[in-house]
Amino acid sequence: MAEKTLKEVFAAMGAAMKPAFDRERAEWDAHGAAATAKLEAVGATLDHMGGNCPVQAEGTVDGQAFYFRARGDAWELWIGQTADWWTERAWSIEREYGKWPDAGWMARHEALGFIVEGIEAYRAR
């Protein structure tokens, strides 16, 4: 069996992943604008969002930094920057999501909805 070049290996990987990327793009095209509008309606700004396993997002709301993370079978939202997100949390919420590893593959528009849900819980405290 002939060895494949690195270029051939990456081309095969890209071809195998294309259907998943196409589905993700179609979901965003269908739901992204509405999800973004809901985030903006609560006065939040999104600085960064991306990744899988975990899906992560950072931004600000009510003058406070927020960090969203979805991995495994749960999502978390932390609001209120401290010296270290991992050991000092000003406020946080965590909710279950599907079965392992569903949360790490959630759609971006769905993650934005959970950020809005978390912001509403933060404000209701």
Q: Is residue 100 part of a domain?
A: yes
- Domain extent, residue 10, equals 6-124
Q: What is the pLDDT of residue 85?
A: 62
Q: Is residue 118 part of a domain?
A: yes
Instruction: Tell me, rounded to whole angstroms, the distance of Cα 34 from its chain centroid.
Output: 16
- The strand ranges marked E within the chain are 45-50, 55-61, 64-71, 74-79, 91-96
pLDDT digits (tens, 9 = 90+) for 37-84: 999 999 999 999 988 889 999 999 999 999 999 999 999 999 997 766
Q: Is residue 1 part of a domain?
A: no
* pLDDT above 70: residue 103: yes
Q: Give the CA distances from residue 32 to residues 27, 112, 119, in Å, rounded to whole numbers and listed in that order.
A: 7, 9, 18
Comparison of pLDDT for 11 and 73, the residue scoring more: 73
Residue type (1 letter), 38:
K
Instruction: Tell me, rounded to whole angstroms, the distance of Cα 124 from its chain centroid.
Output: 23
Q: pTM for the whole thing?
A: 0.82
Q: What is the pLDDT of residue 1?
A: 65
Q: Is residue 58 part of a domain?
A: yes
d(CA 45, CA 65) in angstroms, rounded, equals 10
Q: Is residue 20 part of a domain?
A: yes
Residue type (1 letter), 50:
G
Count up the domains in the chain and report the number. Answer: 1
